[in-house]
C-alpha cells in the first residue's frame, strides 16, 4: 500500500509506493491514480520530465510557473539522491515563506508532491543523479519564475556536500524572496 506522509506544511506530501522484490529484481506501481484519489489528491498529470546531474551539489530551483500554466509536481529519484525543497509562496497562507525539505533517493523509493503555489528546488547529494517528475501543466518560458535558492531569509538548511554548487545563470540571478511579489493566493 502506498504511504502518504504529510509534513509540517500539510499540502506537501511525501509518497512512498510499495516495492516488491524477489530473485529477479523488483516491481512497483510508482504512481497509481486510485491510491492518490483515496487520499483526496486528484491531479491530471500531463507530462513526465527527467533530468540528469553529474556533479554533487547541482542545484535546480527554486522554480515555479504562474497561472494559467502553474504546475503541480510529483518528484522522484531514479538514480542517486537529492535534497528536495518545496517553498510556500501563497500570499495569505499561514506558512507563507516556509518550506519542507526531504531527502529523496533511489534507495528510499520516496517521492515528493509539490503543489501549485509552491516554488521547487533540489540539490544533488550524490553524483550522477537522475530525477523524474510529473507535472500538471505544460512548460512555458513566459510563465516561469525563480527565487534565489540560498536566500538566507528562507532559512533552508541545505546539506554540506563538500563542493561548490553548480547552478544555471537563471538560478544565480534569481531575485531574493523579499523582492518577490507572488501571484499565488492561499485559498484555505
Exactly one of 20, 63, 83, 99 is catalytic; which is it? Answer: 63
Grid cell for residue 144: 516561469
Task: Exactly one of 96, 99, 133, 139 is catalytic; name it.
Answer: 133
* Grid cell at residue 148: 534565489
Compute the CA torsion angle 81, 112, 144, 178 (nearest 10 deg).
-90
Mapping DSSP onto H, E and C, the string for 52-110 reads: EECCCCEEEEEEEECCCCCCCEEEEEEECEEEEEEEECEECCCCCCCEEEEEEECCCCC
- Is 139 catalytic? The answer is no
143 is catalytic: no
- Would you name the residues annotated as active-site residues? 63, 133
Amino acid at each position: 500500500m502506498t504511504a502518504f506522509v504529510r509534513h509540517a506544511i500539510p499540502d506537501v506530501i511525501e509518497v512512498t509506493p510499495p516495492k516488491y522484490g524477489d530473485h529477479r529484481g523488483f516491481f512497483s506501481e510508482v504512481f497509481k491514480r486510485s491510491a492518490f484519489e483515496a487520499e483526496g489528491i486528484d491531479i491530471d498529470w500531463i507530462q513526465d520530465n527527467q533530468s540528469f546531474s553529474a556533479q554533487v551539489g547541482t542545484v535546480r530551483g527554486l522554480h515555479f510557473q504562474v497561472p494559467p500554466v502553474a504546475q503541480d509536481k510529483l518528484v522522484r529519484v531514479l538514480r542517486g539522491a537529492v535534497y528536495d525543497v518545496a517553498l510556500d509562496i501563497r500570499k495569505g497562507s499561514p506558512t507563507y515563506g516556509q518550506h519542507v525539505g526531504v531527502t529523496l533517493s533511489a534507495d528510499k523509493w520516496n517521492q515528493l508532491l509539490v503543489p501549485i503555489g509552491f516554488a521547487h528546488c533540489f540539490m544533488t547529494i550524490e553524483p550522477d543523479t537522475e530525477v523524474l517528475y510529473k507535472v500538471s501543466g505544460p512548460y512555458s518560458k513566459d510563465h516561469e519564475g525563480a527565487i534565489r535558492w540560498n536566500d538566507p531569509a528562507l532559512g533552508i538548511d541545505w546539506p554540506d556536500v563538500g563542493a561548490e554548487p553548480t547552478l544555471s545563470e537563471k538560478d544565480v540571478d534569481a531575485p531574493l524572496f523579499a523582492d518577490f511579489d507572488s501571484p499565488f493566493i492561499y485559498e484555505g
